[in-house]
Homo-oligomer: A and B are copies of this chain.
Amino acid sequence: MNHLKDKIKLDFRSDEPLYMQLVRQVEQLVLTGELNQGDQLPTVRELATELRINFNTVARAYRLLDEARLISTQRGRGTYIWEEPTRETVERLRQISLAELARRYLDEAAGLGYDAPAALDAVRDNMKPGNPEHEDVGADQAIEVKNEQTQQTQRRTSGE
């Protein structure tokens, strides 16, 4: 019986915001192994109903946890405990050099009928100015509150 709601206790009188209480407690549950990789968390509405709070508050907590790479929220599907890339994936990525990646890109572009200069231009065109600096992905990094919207953090861990 993995009822997350039973493991979460909110103190409505604390000065600590509700969403922050949620973040800490879920974080704790994951780190202590009460929640494991791939486990599905309650939906934002489900948990919100159980805890008698607004689902946006849960969503906010989930978003922070997502940005901290502790969980993975997927619209229309649900929210899951973050899964580490498989050993093979990591190894594969490690072995691929940037040069190989570039060559492969050029090959694929050639397959579409584009010559190298055109492919080069395409890369240039698609490197936007506000490009995300890749933040460090440390596992045990503390979760920080961000008061302002941080719209970066698109996540691309080549799946599976």
Contact = CB atoms under 8 A, between A and B. Distances in A.
Given A11-B158, A13-B74, A13-B157, A126 B99 contact: yes
Q: What class of interface size applies to chain A in its complex with B? A: 35 or more
A10 B33 CA distance: 28
Interface string A135-149: 011110110000000
B102 A116 contact: no
B13 A112 contact: no
Interface string A3-20: 000000111111100000
A97 B126 CA distance: 12
A97 B118 CA distance: 12
Contact of A11 (B77, B118, B138, B159): B159
21 contacts: A9-B160, A11-B156, A12-B74, A12-B160, A13-B157, A14-B159, A32-B108, A33-B111, A98-B118, A99-B125, A101-B105, A101-B108, A101-B109, A102-B105, A102-B122, A106-B123, A106-B126, A110-B137, A111-B158, A113-B142, A120-B120
Interface of A: 9-15, 28, 31-33, 72, 74, 77, 93-94, 96-99, 101-103, 105-120, 122-127, 131-134, 136-139, 141-142, 154-160
